[in-house]
Each structure stands twice: as structure tokens, then as C-alpha cells.
Amino acid sequence: SILDIGTGTGLIALMLAQRSDAQLIDALEIEENAYEQSVENFEKSDWGDRLFCYHAAFDEFVEEMQEEEKYDLIISNPPFYSEDYKTGNENRDQARFAEALPLTELIEGASLLLSEKGHFDLIIPFSEESNALEIARKLSLFPNRVTRVKGTESSSIKRSLISFGFDNLEPQIKELTLEISRHNYTEEFKALVKDFYLKL
């Protein structure tokens, strides 16, 4: 079973449905328009019978579900954590801000919903990586894989993709570069997304 926290319009949940044989893929979205869009997208997809979207705040969802459901994979591409991203659009800002879902609350909640051998995969700005690792460590969640993502070979690291689990293993750490030059994608990135794009 899979949980996508802050699914937006449901894109990641749909990609997971396409790639996995999980019988249950739950998604969670608090913003009403995005929730309605994700429900519509799920219903139109080939995997609608396996996908379900909840319209709720994460803390309510955790309280409701922690006794009855443990997930084998939890994924979240959560709010951005910097004032630099303020847009003036309240809905968009809510999707991008820590006030909507603080990192501590997100990791704590995920630890309560994760199965014993499950993985919690988190996509965050690189600037938040050490903070996320420290919060997780206190909850006995350990990084099994860390992928640091940058736009080009010469650019700085922008994102961290961290896969946490309850087993304290030596983490695999690697870098992923997206482009050689503008719209000229690296072979590694192309291999990663080939199932989802018609042309790259």
C-alpha cells in the first residue's frame, strides 16, 4: 500500500499506480481545488479502482488512520520552506509553505503511518536536508538512500530525495544531474522518466 501526502492534482500517485502493482494507493490533499482535480484525474485513469484521495489536513488523517492502516511506501513532495517563494496567490503559497505542513509534523506523521519494513520517500530543498535527517533520526527513521539533484553539472544542488526506513543501514548517496544543456537531458535522467514522457 502507498500514501502520497500533499498529492496536488494527483500526478505522483498516478505515476506510482502506473509503475507498481500496489492494491491500495491513497492520496491526501487539503486544498479544495487540487483535491477535486485529483479525484477527477483518478476517475479518468486506468487505475481508478486502486486510487483514493482524502480531503483532509495531515494531522487529522494521521489521527484517524494510524491504528488501522500502515503503508509500505509513503511519498511526499512537501511545501517549500523559504520566504523567497511567496507568490501572492494564497492557494499556491499554502502549497509552498512550512506553515501548511511543518517538516517536523510531516516526518512524525509519516513515522506513525509507516509499516515496519516500509519506506518514506521525501523530496525537499537541499537546504533542508540536514534538518530533515536530524528530525527523522530522533524518530528512529534512517536514510537508506539520498539522491542530490542539480540542474546541470556546474550548478549547485537544489533538491534532496531521501528514502527513510526504520532499519539503520549505511545510506547510498548519489547525485543526479538533469541536463547537459538547456533541454538536452542526461542519459541517467532520461532512463528515470522514460515511462512517463513521450519524447525527451
Domain parsing of the chain, residue ranges: 2-140
- Please tell me what DSSP assigns to residue 170: P
Question: What gap in Å lies between CA 157 and CA 133, rounded to an integer?
Answer: 17
Question: What gap in Å lies between CA 38 and CA 60, rounded to an integer?
Answer: 19
Split at pLDDT 50, 70, 90, the class of 95 is low
For domain 2-140, the CATH architecture is: 3-Layer(aba) Sandwich (3.40)
Split at pLDDT 50, 70, 90, the class of 181 is confident
Split at pLDDT 50, 70, 90, the class of 86 is low
pTM metric for this prediction: 0.85
Question: What gap in Å lies between CA 87 and CA 123, rounded to an integer?
Answer: 21
- Write down the residue that cell numbers 516526518 correspond to: 107
Assigned C-alpha cell, 114: 509507516
Alpha helices by DSSP H, the chain: 11-19, 32-44, 58-65, 90-96, 103-113, 129-138, 187-193
Other beta carbons within 10 Å of 173? 11
Q: Is 10 left (phi over 0), alpha (psi -120 to 50) or beta?
A: left
Assigned C-alpha cell, 43: 476517475
pLDDT for res 190 = 80
- Contacts of 81-90 with CB under 8 Å at 24 or more apart are 81/124, 81/125, 81/127, 81/128, 82/125, 82/127
Split at pLDDT 50, 70, 90, the class of 167 is very high
Average pLDDT, the chain: 88
Give the pairing of strands 184-185 and 179-181: antiparallel
